[in-house]
Structure 1
Amino acid sequence: MEFLRPATWDEALVAMAEHPGALPVSGGTDVMVELNFDLRRPSAILDLNRIGELTEWSTDGSSVRLGAAVPYARIIDELPVPLPGLALAARTVGSPQIRNRGGVGGNLGAASPAGDAHPALLAAGRGVRVEAHSVRGVRLIPIDEFYLGVKRHCLAPDELIRAVRIPVADGPQQFSKVGTRNAMVIAVCAFALALHPADRTVGTGLGSAAPTPRRADLAEAYLADALAWESGDPPADEVVRRFGELVAAAADPIDDVRGTAAYRRHALAVLARRTLAWCWNDYREQLGRTA
C-alpha cells in the first residue's frame, strides 16, 4: 500500500490522477475504522491533511462554500445562522473527538445512507452543489444527483471533493434522528426539514431509510401548498398528520440490527410532525405572531 501526502491541492489532484484507486483521507473517522478492521485494503492512501484550504469556508451572503474538511465542531460554532440544519445535524455526530476531526466531505465520500449530514444537505435546497475537482477540471454536482446507491456516489475515480456550496437559510431548519441511545450512535433513521419562505417551498431529507439519502418530494409539495405562509396560522392537525404519512411513504427502509422497516417508517412520521411543529413555531416568531 502506497502512502501519498501532497502538500497542495494541485499536487493532490495529480496524485489522484496517477493513482485512481487511492483512498482519500482527511478526518479519517470512517476510513480508519474500515482499515483497522481490514474491511478495505486500497492500493494507496491519499492523505489530505496538509492542505489547509480544505478546512476553510466563505460566504457571499447568498451561499456558503464549505471546505470538505471543515470539522463538524466548527460548523456548530461558526455556521449555526447561515446553515442551521447542518449545524444541528453536526451536533449529533459521534463524540467531541469525532466532531473535531470529521467533516462533510468525508460524509459525502462515504455515501452511507446513515450519514448525518445528508438529510440536512438535501433539505437545504436544490441549489446545493458538491464541488468535485480533477486534473480535467471542476464539476458542480447537484446534491440530488450525487448519491447512486448504498455507499456509492457519482464521483469519477480521479475526482476529489473540494467543497460543498450550500444556500444560506432563508427560514427555519430542523434536524432530528432516532438512535439506539442518545449519543455516539448511527441513526436508525433521521429527518431534516427546511422552510424556504422566499419562494414558499419546503425541503426535506431522509436518512438511514432507503438505499440512498433522499427527499420526500410529495410531502414537500403537499406541505408547501398547505402552509399559511402569509398569516402564520398553525397548520391543521390533518395537514400535520398527512405530512407525516407522506414522509413515511417516501422511505424504502430495511430490517436490520438497529430497527425494523416498519419502525423506521413510524419513526419518520413522528420526526416529520415534530420538526414541522418546531420549524413553524420559529417561523411564527419571525413573523411576530407568537400568540
Structure 2
Amino acid sequence: MEFLRPADWGEALAAKAEHPSAVPLAGGTDVMVEINFDHRRPEYLLDLNRIAELGEWQTDTEYVRLGASVSYTRIMESLSTELSGLALAGHTVGSPQIRNRGSVGGNLGAASPAGDSHPALLAAGSEVEVESVRGSRRIPVEEFFTGVKRNALAEDELIRAVHIKKASGPQQFSKVGTRNAMVIAVCAFGIALHPDTRTVRTGIGSAAPTPVRARAAEDFLDAALEEGGFWDSGKTLPPSLAAEFATLASGACNPIDDVRGSAKYRRHAVSVMARRTLGWTWESYRAGHTGGTGGTGHNGHTPEGDASCV
C-alpha cells in the first residue's frame, strides 16, 4: 500500500488523476476500520490532512459552504444555529473521539445507506461540490447516492465541500439504534421546515438502498399547510394530518431484513419518527410564530438510539 500526501488541493487533484484508485483519507473513521479488519486493501491511500481549506467553512445569506473535512464536533460547536439538523445528527455519531475526526465529506464518500449526516443533508437542501483536474461541479445531494455504498463521483474526482442551506425554520433528526451510543442506525429520519419557501423537506436513512427523501409525504404536507393556512396562523396540526404524513413517509422506504432489524420494523419506526419529528418542529415553529423563542423543537434533543420510541 502506497501513501500519497499532497501539500495542497492542486497536488491532491493531480495525485487522484494519476492514481484514480487512490482512497481519500482524512478522519479515517470508516477507511481505517475497513483496513484494520482486512475488508479493504487499497493500492494507494491519499492523505488529505495537510490541506487546510478542507477544514474550513464560509457562510453567505443563504448557504454554508462546509469544507469536506470539517468535523462533527466543530459543526456542533460552531454551526448549531445555521445547520441545526446536521448538528443534532452529529450528536448521535459514535463517540467524542469519532466526532472529533469524522466529517460530512467522509460520510458522503462512504455513501452508506446508514450514514448519520445524510437525512439531515437531504432535509436541509444541499449540494456536493466535487472537483478533478478537469474542473468542478455541484451535485444535488439526492442525486449523489447511486447505490449501496456507491456515489456519483467520477474516478478522478474528490469531494471539496458541501453547500448546505442555512436553517430558516426548525429542524429535527431522530435515529433508532440497538443502544444509545456508538451504534449504526437501524433507521433514521430528518425533517426541516422552510418557512421562507413554505416547504418541508425530509430525509430517511437506513431504510432503502440509498438515503432518500419522502417526496410524497413532503408534497402532501406542503399542500395541507398552504391550503389550511397553517404557515400564517401557526395553529396546531390536526392528528389526522400528522398521521397521513407519517404513513406517506413510511411508504417511501424500501428496507431489507438484516441483523439490525426487519423491514417491517423499519417501516414502522420511520412512521413513528416522522410523526414525532413533525410534531416537535411544528411546535417549535408555533412558539416562534406566536412570539416565543422557537428553536430546534423538543428542547433541541433527539431520541438518539431510542428504540423505545417505536
**TM-score of the superposed pair, with normalisation by structure 1:** 0.98
How much does 1:286 deviate? 1.2
Size of the aligned set, in residue pairs, is 288
Match of 1:5 in 2: 5
Q: Is the 8 A contact 2:234 2:290 kept in 1?
A: no
Match of 1:193 in 2: 191
Alignment partner for residue 176 of structure 1, among 174, 177, 186? 174
Match of 1:116 in 2: 116
| Residues 187-229 of structure 1: CA deviation (Å, up to 9, x unaligned) | 0000000001111110000000000000000000111122211
Within 2, Cα distance between the matches of 1:229 and 1:61?
Answer: 22
Match of 1:204 in 2: 202
Task: State the one-letter code of the partner of 2:77.
Answer: D
Matched, 1:242 2:240: no
Task: State the one-letter code of the partner of 2:173.
Answer: F
Aligned-partner SS, 2:232: coil
Match of 2:53 in 1: 53
How much does 1:61 deviate? 2.1
| Residues 43-98 of structure 1: CA deviation (Å, up to 9, x unaligned) | 10000011111100010121000000000000000001111000000110000000
Structure 2 residue runs of 5 or longer lacking an equivalent are 293-310
Match of 2:223 in 1: 225
Within 2, Cα distance between the matches of 1:182 and 1:18?
Answer: 43
How much does 1:41 deviate? 1.1
Alignment of 1:1-291 (within 5 A): 1-125=1-125, 128-227=126-225, 228-288=230-290
| Residues 249-291 of structure 1: CA deviation (Å, up to 9, x unaligned) | 000000000000000000001000110111001101111166x
Within 2, Cα distance between the matches of 1:257 and 1:74?
Answer: 33
Structure 1 residue runs of 5 or longer lacking an equivalent are none
Aligned-partner SS, 1:210: coil
Question: CA RMSD for the aligned pairs?
Answer: 0.8
Within 2, Cα distance between the matches of 1:15 and 1:186?
Answer: 32
Aligned-partner SS, 1:229: helix
Task: State the one-letter code of the partner of 1:5.
Answer: R
| Residues 141-183 of structure 1: CA deviation (Å, up to 9, x unaligned) | 1111100000000100110000000111111100000000011
Within 2, Cα distance between the matches of 1:162 and 1:39?
Answer: 26
